[in-house]
Copies of this chain bind each other. A is one copy, B any other.
């Protein structure tokens, strides 16, 4: 049962992180012998990739409801907020999706989930421009910049690099830092 293995892997990966989880850990979790995992999956990386996909579907489902927001700038703002919220609520998924090297080996093949997520942001940016906002800016570069800012906030959070702002909690930093960013986008 591949589902049983994935359930075990999810539990172990999201508890200890990818690098610190072993095939034997997963096998023990579901009372399997380590060899059995290789009957259903090519290697550790393939199990990883299934959870990587799972994370993206979660993220994309979260942001799909925001397509209803008509005003493109409001939609852009909501997308960013949802993105950060996803990272906070699913820190371990976020790590798997964006900060584990393993992902790079599988990125090319098949459906491009990261590209789909970026596509949503890009579409909102473009709609903003057609409405008169960000007139003098290149769509791709602006999109990349926005994605970078969002990812930066989440990556600092995921790798525990927020302790240098002693005056504020991590949650406050992320929320208020994002508000700052939005404020700047509004004025640009």
Contacts and interface: CB of A to CB of B under 8 A. Distances in A.
Contacts of A3: none
B164 A115 contact: yes
Interface in A147-186: 147-153, 155-156, 159-165, 167-168, 173, 176-181, 183-185
Contact of A140 (B99, B167, B187): B167
Contact of A161 (B98, B153, B164, B168): B98
Interface residues of A, number: 50
Copies per complex of this chain: 2
A180 B17 contact: no
A118 B177 CA distance: 15
B144 A151 contact: no
Contacts of A141: 168, 173, 176-177, 179-180
Given A115-B164, A159-B104, A188 B177 contact: no
19 contacts: A19-B19, A98-B159, A103-B159, A104-B160, A114-B164, A137-B180, A137-B183, A138-B180, A140-B165, A141-B176, A144-B153, A144-B162, A145-B177, A147-B152, A149-B149, A151-B152, A155-B155, A184-B184, A188-B188
Interface of A: 17, 19, 98-99, 101, 103-104, 107, 112, 114-115, 118, 137-138, 140-145, 147-153, 155-156, 159-165, 167-168, 173, 176-181, 183-185, 187-188
Given A99-B99, A141-B173, A144-B177, 12 more contacts: A19-B101, A107-B163, A114-B161, A141-B176, A145-B149, A145-B177, A148-B177, A149-B181, A151-B155, A183-B188, A184-B184, A187-B188
